[in-house]
Amino acid sequence: MSGRGAQGRSREAWTFPLAYLGTHIAFMPLLVFLLPRRVEAIAGPQSAIVLSWLLLGGAIVASVAHVAGGYLGDRWFAAYGDRRGIIAFGVMALFASFVILGLADTVPRLAGALVFFQFALNLTFAPLGTLLADYTPDASKGTVAGMLNAALPLSSAATALLAWQFPQAPPSAFIANGILAAASIAPLLLLWNFRPAPGESSDLPCPTGGSALSIGRDFALAWMARFLVQLGSAFVIGFLFLLISHNVQSDGNWAGGRSASGAIAVLSLAASAVAIVGAVAAGRLSDRIGARRWPLAVAAAGVATCLALLGAGTAWPVFLGAYALFQLALSGFLAIDLALVAQLIGPSSRRGALLGLMNLANTIPAVVAPAIALASLRMDMTGSRIELFFSGSAVAALLSAGLILAIRRVR
C-alpha cells in the first residue's frame, strides 16, 4: 500500500487493532476462565477429562472454520471489493454464540455451543486478519502487527475484569464477554475505509488475479515454528486454571490465600502490563532494524525459558513472574511472526486462504495439547503431570528458534 493510502487511513487506523482485540476478547476469557469454570461446575471430579474433550473438539472445529473463513473472505473480496460484509456477519453470529454458551447447562449443550462459537469466531477472525496483508506496506507490517498482537495481553486483562466482576458462574458472564467482543469490532465495521484510496489500487495485489503463492520451504518452516511455540501456549490456555486450582487445593497459601479465580485474575493483570509493551516494541523493533528472523528466534527462546519455569513446580512469586514473562515473549513472537508471514504471502492472490492454512499452526496445537493429555493421563489428571506438559513444550519452543533462523525469503 502506498504511503498516501496509509495516511488516508490514519483517522480510522485505531479501529483495526481494536477489532483484533475484540476477537481475542471473544476467545481468551472463555477458554482460560469461563469455560473451565462452567465445566468444573457441571462435571465435578471429571472436569479435567471433560475439558480436554471440549478443547479437543473445539480446536478441530476451529481448524476447519478458519480455513473456510479465509476462503470465504477471499470470495467476498472478489465479489464486493472488500471484506466488511463477511466480518459483520461473523460478529452477529459470534454474539449469538455467547448467549447460547451462557444458557448451556449440560455437557452436550456446552459442546454444541462451543462448536457454534468456533465457527462464528473464525468467520470473523480470518477475514479480519487478512486486512494486514491487504492494506499495510511491508516496511510498516511489524509496527501494525505489534499493535495487533497487543490484543493477546489486553484480552488477558479482560479475563481479569470478568473474573472480578463475576466471581460465580452466571449466564450473564458469557453475555458480558460477547458484548465486550462485539463492541470492540463495531468501530471498524462503521469507520474503516475498506476500499483502496484513489490511485492506490495498483499497489494492492488483486485477490482474483495473478499467480498464487506456492507454499514452499520458508512457508513450511514458518508454519512449523509457529506450531511449536503455540503448542506451549495451548497447554497454558487450556490447563493453567486446573494447575492453579490443584496448587491452591494442595496449599491454601500457595497464591497468598487467593482462590483459583483470584489467582487467575492477578496473573492476567500482571501479564497484560508487560506483554502489551512487548508486542508493540517487538513489532516496531523488527521494522526499525529491517529484520524479522533473529528477533523472532530470541522471542521463541524466551517462551521456552518461561515454559520451563512454569513446569518446574515453582513458588507463587516465581510462577507469577514466569507467567508475566511468558506473555511478554509470546506476544513479541506473535507480533514479529505475523509481520513475517504477511510478507511471505503478500504477492499471493489467495491471501485469506493462505492465512487460513497458517492459522492451522495456531489451532492444531489446541487439538494436540488435550489429545496428549487424554492419551497420557486417561482419567487421571494431576497437577504434577500437567507440569510435565509445560516442560515438554519448552523443548518444542526452543526447537522453533532454530527453524526460524533457517528461513531465507525474509530477513
320-330 per-position pLDDT tens digit = 888 888 988 99
Residue with cell 511468558: 326
CA 198 from centroid of its chain's CA atoms: 34
What does the pLDDT read at residue 336? 93
Q: Cell for 290?
A: 529491517
Count of CB atoms within 10 A of residue 408's CB?
9
Count of CB atoms within 10 A of residue 402's CB?
14
CA distance linking residue 247 with residue 121, whole number of Å: 32
What residues contact residue 279 under an 8 Å CB cut-off, 6+ apart? 146, 147, 149, 150, 152, 153, 331, 332, 334, 335
Q: Which of 119, 16, 75 is nearest to 363 (CA)?
A: 119
255-308 per-position pLDDT tens digit = 777 877 778 778 877 777 787 888 889 999 999 998 889 999 999 999 999 998
DSSP for 190-225, please give it: HH---SPPTTTGGGSPPTTSSPPPP--HHHHHHHHH
Give the domains, in start order, of the chain with CATH numbers. Answer: 3-405 (1.20.1250.20)
What does the pLDDT read at residue 119? 94
CA distance linking residue 17 with residue 38, whole number of Å: 30
Low-confidence ranges of the chain (pLDDT < 70): 1-11, 196-215, 313, 347-349, 376-385
What does the pLDDT read at residue 197? 40
What does the pLDDT read at residue 380? 52
Quote the pTM value: 0.75
Q: Cell for 295?
A: 528477533
